[in-house]
Amino acid sequence: MESSDKSKMVYRYLGNSGLKVSLLSFGTMLNEHTEETEKAWLECAKLAFDSGINYFDSAEVYGFGKGDELLGRAIKENEWRREDLVIAVKFFMGSGPNRNGLSRKKIIEATRASLKRMGLDYCDIVYAHRDDHETPLEETCRAFNWLIKKGYAFYWGTSAWPADMITEAIKICDQHGWYRPVVDQAEYNCLSRQHLEKSNVRLFENYRYGISAWSPLGGGFLTGKYNDGTIPEDSRYGKSEMHKKFNWDRYIGELTKEKALKILQDLKELADELGVTQAQLALAWVLVNQDVSTCIIGASKVSQLESNLGALDLIAKWDKDLEAKVEAILDNTPQRDFNFKHWGVLPARREKVVKYNTKLGQIEYKDDYDTYFC
């Protein structure tokens, strides 16, 4: 894929909204902030925009505000037109009694602070970066509605919220005539499927709720770098015990190590047959899921981002046979709930897929009871 080729980028609506976002989005999270890493990120950000990515994702916790500053710098240095960008900010964490959570004070102050760091008047999407069970949900919804009414944001969303809490938030907003949340930022990859393919299904069916997927490569495990089960010293897991505990032990823990490594190795074999990288195959698997509005990727160097952008070529070729091959390797499809009306388990979310057209604008779904288009 040419570095300045925008023709292959796919754009989808962000859930049940009129906002179009690039299927791939670019995040500001860096493992460390140095002059070298920030320079590399800025180069990648330019390539991302030149390749059709319009959605840039940041959060106050990324570098403790440095991610926001870096994104603002990219916008200014490249002279990007604001209307060509979809900027997302997130907040929740912080030290001090009122610097974390989702109180009205936290929501409004954190949004203003993020915008100030980026040098912007408004963002397109503001996320509640995790849920808060101590603050009344009505207070949280009211505060996000205020942000939108005052022009600080256009849409609001959740991040890794449980489905029942999202549903409750939607009902509260409907009751008061407030702006609903339209999107959840959720982990989704070949090794982590439960949230999207089981827990959130009713949100998709009832509200067309959007998803901005994060960690599509499973914290790097799906790139092929760790297929032999060892940790390179120069990798993030070799350098950081915190990262190792959070992801390595979760994905490649002793209880699941044998199965996980077999999945990784079989994916590599299939990728080789297709003439693509293992990362491209894993990314494409995420992208063809129509419940995904956009998928957040990162990169530490231009060549890495160029390679990941190649996943767009593979989704145009995706068909039911390839879907079946990947499913056979993963063997981890979340089981849907039992349906007494039809006396059987509902089809798994991805099992409905029959075919994809080259632009993924229309996909035909078919199950035992009906056929429909979306």
Distance from C-alpha of 148 to C-alpha of 309, rounded to nearest angstrom: 33
Higher pLDDT, 258 or 168: 168
Confidence of residue 358 (pLDDT cuts 50, 70, 90): very low
Task: Give the 3-state secondary structure of 71-96.
Answer: HHHHHHHHCCCHHHCEEEEEECCCCC
How high is the pLDDT of residue 147? Answer: 98
Residue 259: pLDDT over 90: no
| Helices vs strands, H then E, count in the chain | 15, 15
Is the CB of residue 86 less than 8 Å from the CB of residue 124? yes
Is the CB of residue 211 less than 8 Å from the CB of residue 188? yes
Beta-ladder partners of 57: 27, 88
Confidence of residue 344 (pLDDT cuts 50, 70, 90): low
Three-state DSSP at 366 gives: strand
Angle between helices 66-78 and 104-118 (to 10 degrees): 40
Residue 200: pLDDT over 80: yes
Residue 363: pLDDT over 70: no
Closest CA to 16 of 248, 210, 176: 210
Known catalytic residue at 62: yes
Confidence of residue 338 (pLDDT cuts 50, 70, 90): low
Q: Which residues, 6 or more positions from 67, have their beta carbon under 8 angstroms from its beta carbon?
A: 28, 29, 30, 58, 59
Query: pLDDT digit string (tens) for 62-88?
Result: 888 899 999 999 999 999 999 999 999
Q: Which residues, 6 or more positions from 93, have their beta carbon under 8 angstroms from its beta carbon?
A: 60, 61, 100, 129, 130
How high is the pLDDT of residue 53? Answer: 98
Q: Which residue has the tokens 């996000």?
A: 144
The amino acid that residue 226 corresponds to is Y
| pLDDT above 90 coverage of the chain, percent | 66
Closest CA to 283 of 331, 318, 259: 318
Q: Kindly tell me the burial class for residue 69, based on how many C-beta atoms sit within 10 Å of its own C-beta (0-12, 13-18, 19 or more).
A: buried
Query: pLDDT digit string (tens) for 105-126?
Result: 999 999 999 999 999 999 999 9
Give the residue-averaged pLDDT of 252-260.
78
How high is the pLDDT of residue 300? Answer: 87
* 11-331: CATH, from 3.40.50.1360, 3.40.50.1220, 3.20.20.100, 3.10.180.10: 3.20.20.100
Give the residue-averaged pLDDT of 253-277.
91
How high is the pLDDT of residue 1? Answer: 45
- Domain boundaries of the chain, sorted by first residue: 11-331
How high is the pLDDT of residue 230? Answer: 83
Give the angle subtended at the CA of 158 by the CAs of 110 and 334, to the nearest 5°: 150
How high is the pLDDT of residue 63? Answer: 81
Residue 343: pLDDT over 70: no
Confidence of residue 31 (pLDDT cuts 50, 70, 90): confident
Three-state DSSP at 253 gives: coil
User: In angstroms, how far is CA 242 from the centroid of its own chain?
Assistant: 22
Closest CA to 182 of 207, 213, 215, 217: 207
Query: pLDDT digit string (tens) for 34-51?
Result: 999 999 999 999 999 999
Dmax over CA atoms of the chain, in Å, equals 61
Confidence of residue 242 (pLDDT cuts 50, 70, 90): low
Residue 223: pLDDT over 60: yes
CA atoms within 13 A on the CB side of 282: 32
Give the residue-averaged pLDDT of 12-30.
96
- Strand 363-366 to strand 371-373: parallel, antiparallel, or no bridges (unpaired)? antiparallel
Query: pLDDT digit string (tens) for 142-155?
Result: 999 999 999 999 99
| pLDDT above 70 coverage of the chain, percent | 86
Out of 62, 127, 152, 209, which one is annotated catalytic? Answer: 62
Averaged confidence pLDDT in the chain:
87
How high is the pLDDT of residue 46? Answer: 97
Give 337's DSSP letter. P
Confidence of residue 356 (pLDDT cuts 50, 70, 90): very low
CA atoms within 13 A on the CB side of 70: 31
How high is the pLDDT of residue 100? Answer: 84
How high is the pLDDT of residue 373? Answer: 30
Confidence of residue 370 (pLDDT cuts 50, 70, 90): very low
Confidence of residue 348 (pLDDT cuts 50, 70, 90): confident
Higher pLDDT, 139 or 5: 139
Q: Which helix (H) or strand (E) holds 326?
A: helix 320-330
Instruction: Provide the token pair at 299.
Output: 């990169």
Distances (CA, A) of 284 to 75, 171, 222: 28, 34, 12
Closest CA to 154 of 122, 128, 185: 122
Closest CA to 70 of 22, 33, 107: 33
Give 245's DSSP letter. I
Angle between helices 35-50 and 302-309 (to 10 degrees): 30
Closest CA to 351 of 372, 335, 329: 335
